[in-house]
Amino acid sequence: MNLRNLKLFGLCCFFITPLTYAASPIDGKLIEEKATEIEPKVIKWRHHLHQYPELSNREFETAKYIEKHVRELGLEVETGVAITGVVAVLDSGKPGPTVALRADMDGLPVKEENDLPFKSVQMGELDGKQVPVMHACGHDTHVAMLMGAAEILTGMKDQLKGKVKFIFQPAEEGAPAGERGGAEVMVEEGVLKNPDVDVIFGLHISANTDVGTVRYRHGGIMAAVDPFKIIVKGKQAHGAYPWKSVDPITTSAQIIMALQTIVSREIKVIDDAAVVTIGSIHGGNRSNIIPMEVEMVGTIRTLNEAAREHMYEAIPRKVKGIAESMRAEAEVILPLDYNYPITFNDHDLMDQMLPTLVRTAGAENVINSKPVTGAEDFSFFQQEVPGVYLWVGGKPLDVPEEESPAHHTPEFFVDDSGMKLGVKLLTNMTLDYMYSQD
């Protein structure tokens, strides 16, 4: 998951009004007991996965580990989906909806700095180089929680209605250069078909959210991401004689500053938050040579389609206008290589699931959250079927939020005790949705 700093995750208090919905007739105490019983196994699975992480599209051993578990449960299993994905189906044998549950599997090229007995010392290959690998975003917990929910639901097969599709997804963090992967490819390969999925649920552990709490939001909960490249071409000259050049560096500097005015002066920021960031700029190789060309790459983050469409129109307009004014030429490649839609929680489904969240976590632990400008490719599933994506707390209660590590860092840490709530949420949302379709 592409999050850089969950410490900016804003919150607002929310008092939940009970909604009319059809909960499953299964006693909540039974799910609590089953989650408590399976918790040691979930922790064991997580520790193994954390110790042996794999990079995107290379999750071969992770897939084998998952496959062994779901086959032992007696589920119908498909492997090799979107290269390494594993999909398992639980069929109750009775008519009803098909509920999909998703967990992502890949780690990140990060060297772990935590002193844990299950610390990762794994290496992987990225762009032809050996790099350290770490579950620096919690995908190990996601897999373990879904394995736990699969075991609980399989043990309750005679009480289910319809089917459950367990989707273990590779490459959420982005496929390697020259490859495709992740949710988008899984959708293209028909993961939401045969049987046709009615709804999909997913969750993400949060290192900056207290264990025992769950965060949700109607509508856009995570931003769309649209990487882009700008190529500015000028005329090379000696640095001592700039008047003989068409300087792509000064042109690029003006472009970078002007891009910020799209958000500050063209986006209605009280309604439509957006971000445009230049993350890399390259041009020239000597202090006394004005180069011929400069390349920049950046990212756009938006939380609704109107803002996203505006950014697509405004960036080329700004870039080409400034380049022309400086006698330079400019090319904009947007999107660059991949893009994710907005992670958008279906309003009706979110309404329907709110009582489930309250019943599972307790009203005081269910928090209506502001959106974040990180991105998630769970959004590709939500483009096809109604979906709900949640944040589950993984921060120890005795650690202040300002001291908790950010995602995607060597110090990233989440507590094992946070996974039990995730297992219960996946299980209860499945059961409640099934029984709501009478």
Q: Which residues are catalytic?
A: 106, 172
Q: 278: which residues sit within 8 A by CB, 6+ positions away?
A: 256, 259, 296, 297, 298
Considering only CA atoms, which of 39, 106, 122, 123 is closest in space to residue 66?
Answer: 106
Residue 372 has a CB neighbour count (10 Å cut-off) of 26
Residue 231 is encoded by which pair of tokens?
């190529």
Residue 157 has a CB neighbour count (10 Å cut-off) of 16
Round to whole Å and give the CA distance between 376 and 183. 9
Rounded to the nearest 10 degrees, the angle between the axes of helix 28-51 and helix 419-436 is 130
CA distance readout (Å), 119 to 46, 60, 125, 137, 413:
11, 20, 19, 14, 11
Round to whole Å and give the CA distance between 438 and 428. 17
Considering only CA atoms, which of 364, 273, 259 is closest in space to residue 315?
Answer: 259
Residue 81's DSSP bridge partners are 85
Residue 97 is encoded by which pair of tokens?
């909806």
